[in-house]
Every structure is written in C-alpha cells, then in structure tokens.
Structure 1
Amino acid sequence: MSTLRVLKIVLFYLLLAISSSLWCTLSFFVAPFLSFRARYRFVNQNWCRLAVWLAKVLLGIRYEISGQEHIPEQPCVILANHQSTWETMFLSAFFEPLSQVIKRELLFVPFFGWAMAMLRPIAIDRSNPKVALKQMAKQGHDYLSSGSWVLVFPEGTRMPVGQLGKFSRGGAALAVNANLPVLPIAHNAGQCWPKLGWNKFPGTIQVVIGPQMFAEGSGPRAVLELNERVFQWVEDTQRQLNAASGQKPTPEPAEAL
C-alpha cells in the first residue's frame, strides 16, 4: 500500500471522527426543538451524506444506483444485505426518515450512539430473541404507520464479499403484519469497504433496488415464503454483481469465526 493511500485513509477517518463529534454535540442543542423529520435530516441524513462524499473524494469510493423506479411512494420495510459500514450510511442518507434495527449496545457509543438515540432506532437486545422480535414488531409497525422507512439487515451481521448469511424472518414478519411490501436491496460495498480492517479500495459500488415484494397471504407460512423470496432475489443479484466484477467469494478469516 502506498504512503499516499495510507495518508488518505487516515485523513478520512480523522475527518469522520471530528465531524461526528461536532455534529452530534451540536445536535444535542438543536435536535430537541425540531420535528422528527427535520431532526432526521439535521442529525443523520446530512452527516451520512458528508461521510459518503468524503469516501468518494478521499478514497475514490463511488457508487451507481439502479432500480430507483421500484421505490414506492409509501415507506415500507427495506431488507438489504450487509457487508460494510458504507451501506448503512448510504441508505440512511438516501431514504428519509428511516428507522434502523440496531444492536442496543450501539446507543452507548459516545456521540454516535447518543445522537442515534434521538432518531427512533429499534434498538434490540440480541441475547433475548423473543423480546427482540416483539419489540421489532411493535416499534416497527408504529414507525411505518407514522411514515418512516424501516431498514433491516436480516443477516444480523456484516458478511464478506461473496457470502450471504441466513436471513432472519423479523423484517419479513414486520412487512406482513403491517400489510406492506418489502423493498429488497443488494449491493457489493464490501469490495471497496471490507468487513474487517481499516483498508479501503477505490472503485464503484453497485446498489441495486429490486421490485417490491408482497406476501401471499398472512401468518407464519406467508412470512417464511416472503423471506425466502427476498433471500433468493438478493442472492441472485449478488451473484450477478460478483460475476460482473470478477469477484470471487471471500473466505471468512479464521480469527473471525
């Protein structure tokens, strides 16, 4: 790795940390007086746009979006594969307002977690799956009813490029119970922003928005069928993206198993 590239990566993280601290601190004094939509734009959307822009300017990480014609006017449940931090920032900037299903521990991260707590996240305790599912169903339904998108990464964790984890049914169940469609999204962000380490690679991330998917019926069987259909679409799209870029599946490092 060249010295210039190392310096750019260090500068990127430095600017990201400084902007996050300043932005979140300012938000404590401004956000409480704003409506939720205005608060979302001020606290989250603008900073995420800055982060994506910094990645483009300093690291050469660009993106292309296809399938925007599939986005419905009414907010619904978004199910996306998870490879890096990039797609979290990008999707938070692209859809607004948006509520995310996150690990509860993230709320305790200084600055970042404190600001996120003001954005109606669905912060679940993964050690208690039954309670987490009930919480996701209740809060998710409330947020969807109030006009917020709900973003779920059904794999539950970031996966290496070329691998797709098992999809949990929580997001599909939320869509079925709310009588709303799922908007599937596939991407290959991990090629530029790997799961592990600080290294970043210049390139163009492909973000593919799929057609809305509705449940056929109701109840557990409909949830299972919808979840499998979304998984299949994401898997097929991932395979096409990997083939187009010549990317081979990345084996999971031994220390991360």
Structure 2
Amino acid sequence: MILVRSVIFNIIFYLALVALSLTGLPCLLQDRLAAQNLGRRWGRVSRWLLEKICRTKVEFRGLDHIPQGACIIASKHQSLLETMMLPLHSKDFSYILKRELMFLPFFGWYLRKAGQIGINRAKGSAALTDLTRQASKVLAEGRQIFIFPEGTRRPPGAAPNYKAGVAFLYAASNVPCVPVAVNTGLFWPRRRFLRRPGTVVIEYLEPIEPGLEKRAFMQLLETRIETATNRLMEEAMRNDPTVRQGLVSNAPDVPQEPVSKLAG
C-alpha cells in the first residue's frame, strides 16, 4: 500500500509543480513577494497531498522561537520536504543555495525573482566573501535567511558534516541564529521513491544570540541541531518502528553513526 500511495503522490506532486510553474508566470512581472507566495503555495499543496494520499502529517514545533525581523534560520537537511515547508512561516526570506539552480528554466527564474542567494561553491574562500556580501543586504532589509549548515541533504543517521559558511555568516551578521531539527528523512528519504506514513516534525530550537566566537558558535549549533534531530527520530521510531527503514543503514556510501544509537 505504501508503494501504491507513493506512486500516486509522486505523479500528482510533479503535475502540480508543473501546473504551478506555468500558472505562476505572471509572478515574474511582479515583486519578489509574489514569487515567494507562489513558493509557499507549492509548500501548502505538497503538505495537503502528503496528508491525504500518503497519510504523512507535517507538524511544526517551537514557532515561538522565530524572532521578528532579520535572523538566520539554520536547518538540518535530510529531505526536499523541509525546503518546501520552512518558508510557510516566513514572510520574506532568502535561501542560500547553489548558483547553478538559478539557471534552471522556470525554477531558476522564480528563485531569482524571489530574491534568493546563489553561491558559486567553486570559488572556495571567495564564495564566503560573496555570501556575506549578499546576505548582509538581505538582513539589512529585515528579512530571514535560510541556510543548510551541512550544504546538502544528509540521510538520517549520517555523521554530521557542518561547513564553515554558517559560522562566517553568523559572525558577519550580528543577528540571532535559529537552529532547526527535523526527522523528514525517515518519511521522505533523499533519492528514494517511497513516502512513508507518520508524523514529520520540523522543530525550531532556542535562538543562538549574536556575539559568540566562530568555533563556539559552530559547536553549539551542531550540538543543538544533532541532539534534537536524534530525539525526533527516536520519537518517530518509537511510534512506528517501520520508519527505521529510512535510516542511513540503507545508504552505505555515507559515513554513519551506529544505528543502535538512534534506534534506542
């Protein structure tokens, strides 16, 4: 039944994406908020489809931890799902993403119009300078910045791999950083077709106020995100042991923490 529901969901999900991309073209003639609203519409439609077809609910926790105005929101990245869900609680935002995405037809057009930040990773240290320059402009406008500190999706149970970019951004911005923990990869695994039923949790944690030294900030950020993410995954596995199949034990190419540590 999970396979059948996943097939139906994926077909409708991508049809809905194409439909929104075409019907949303007038947004390209409007301001960035119009394009962002289209992105939030995609998130709401996807959330509804997940619940109705796959019986997968999305629960948000800790929304009171999101400050008003400019801040950095640093999220664990296990799945495409949090990419769509995080903007639902932000009025004006910018994602930090690979510059290559900005050149994709339709999708890239909307990213540019929505005021997202594209970074050329091939530039090495120069990319960090470019990141802080673009981010400073966004934060000066009172907007929120989303960043995935590990840079790419990591399957549940994979050993953490946090990059320096988030620390440079934090040090240069003088705004709070809100860590975000998720268990999304158990239900919508990266590079996998199946969508498992259950309750996805996206949890906003206590903000880290500006002023910490970079190394201390990185240690605190990683500890908060990883501790809460492991807790959310353990909770999901207690409620339904079958979601354990979404652990990194099925992805041998990625270094991992002992599964027993997560499974409890």
For normalisation by structure 2, the TM-score amounts to 0.85
Structure 2 CA distance for aligned equivalents of residues 189 and 2 of structure 1? 16
The one-letter code sitting in structure 2 at the alignment partner of 1:119 is A
Deviation per CA, 1:106-150, whole angstroms, max 9, x where unpaired? Answer: 122221122111111111112222121111101111101112110
Determine which of 187, 196, 204 is the counterpart of 1:201.
196
Correspondence for 1:66: 61
2:41 paired residue number:
46
Distance 1:47 1:212 in 2: 27
1:244 aligns with 2:251: no
Matching of residue 180 in structure 1 with residue 171 in structure 2: no
CA contact (8 A) 2:128 2:168 kept: no
Instruction: Mark the CA change 1:167 to 1:93 in structure 2 (over 3 Å): closer, same or farther.
Output: same
Structure 2 counterparts to residues 33-182 of structure 1, below 5 A: 33-34=30-31, 36-41=32-37, 43-182=38-177
Task: Give the number of equivalent residue pairs.
Answer: 248
CA distance in 2, matches of 1:102, 1:186: 19
% identical equivalent positions: 27
| Distance in 1 separating the partners of 2:91 and 2:166 | 18
> Which residue number in structure 1 is paired with residue 9 of structure 2?
9
In 2, the alpha carbon distance for the partners of 1:47 and 1:72 equals 24
Aligned to 1:251, the other structure's residue is in SS state helix
Aligned to 1:229: 220
Q: Structure 2 unaligned runs (5+)?
A: 238-242, 256-264
> Which ranges in structure 1 are unaligned for 5 or more consecutive residues?
none
Contact 2:183–2:232 (Cα < 8 Å) also in 1: yes
The alpha-carbon distance between structure 1 residues 163 and 7, as it changes in their structure 2 partners (threshold 3 A), is closer
Change (3 A) 1:155 1:252: farther
Deviates most, 103-112 or 74-83: 103-112
Distance 1:122 1:202, change over 3 A: same
Rate the CA distance shift 1:46–1:210 in 2: closer, same or farther, 3 A: same
User: Does 226-235 or 159-168 show the bigger shift?
Assistant: 159-168
Q: Would the aligned equivalents of 1:84 and 1:158 in 2 still touch at CA under 8 Å?
A: yes
Counterparts of 1:115 and 1:127 in 2: how far apart (Å)?
Answer: 23
Q: CA RMSD in A?
A: 2.2
Q: Distance in 1 between matches of 2:147 and 2:211?
A: 20
SS in 1 for 2:153: coil
Letter in 1 for 2:133: K
> Residue type of the partner of 1:32?
L
